[in-house]
A = this chain, B = another copy of it.
Amino acid sequence: MSRTRLSPEQRREQLLDLGVQLIADRPLDELSIDLLAEQAGVSRGLLYHYFGGKQEFLLAVLRRMADDLYAATAPVDHPDMAERLRVSLQNYVGFVRDHPASYRSFVAAALGGSHPDVRAVYEEARSALTDRIFDSASAEELAVFGIVDTAATRLFARGWASMVEDVMLRWLEDPRGITEEELIGSMTLSLGGVLAVVALSS
């Protein structure tokens, strides 16, 4: 049986997956082409060929993580918006639980202000995740929850995502007796709780 030969694109994807694993155990700044070369057993020259340089490689790894998160939390096919949101949040919680250190590093690098490129990847992912909430529901469906699609509700949906992230990371550190199901239930209901009142005050 011969080993399957990977295409350059497949090989690149595989290396990015390895990169995501590598940042799970160490700060972002310690991720390097040398480390990847050592772990993947390939030459540094080949990696520079694939990624260009350390900074480009790091960004590609973070973009991969953001894409994985986006894919993992894609709305399921269910007629009830609240149930779609609950499943997405369940998958979000699962994703962060599976990659706690990399997710934390990503968020810290994005919010710390000294990595504008990382911030851009993070903001892009955040936009995509929150805009999807509006784009995957009809105006009638949103109205059931008292939600109207306005500049203010979009702004607070972004804020809600910050709340979910904050609550998630604090819960991971110390669950305070709150079960995962309760956590996900509260995250789910809180979106409507926030957006319905925002629609009221504008």
- Which residue of B159, B165, B193 is within 8 Å of A197 (Cβ)? B193
Contacts of A189 in B (CB 8 A): 197-198, 200-201
- Which residue of B113, B163, B165, B178 is within 8 Å of A194 (Cβ)? B163
| A interface: dominant SS | helix
Q: How far is the CA of A158 from the CA of B194 in the complex (A)?
A: 15
Q: How far is the CA of A200 from the CA of B114 in the complex (A)?
A: 40
Q: How far is the CA of A166 from the CA of B108 in the complex (A)?
A: 15
Contacts of A186 in B (CB 8 A): 152, 156, 197-198, 201-202
A178 adjacent to B202 (CB under 8 Å): yes
A residues near B (Cβ < 8 Å) are: 104-105, 107-109, 111-114, 151-152, 154-156, 158-160, 162-167, 170-171, 176-178, 182-183, 185-186, 188-190, 192-194, 196-198, 200-202
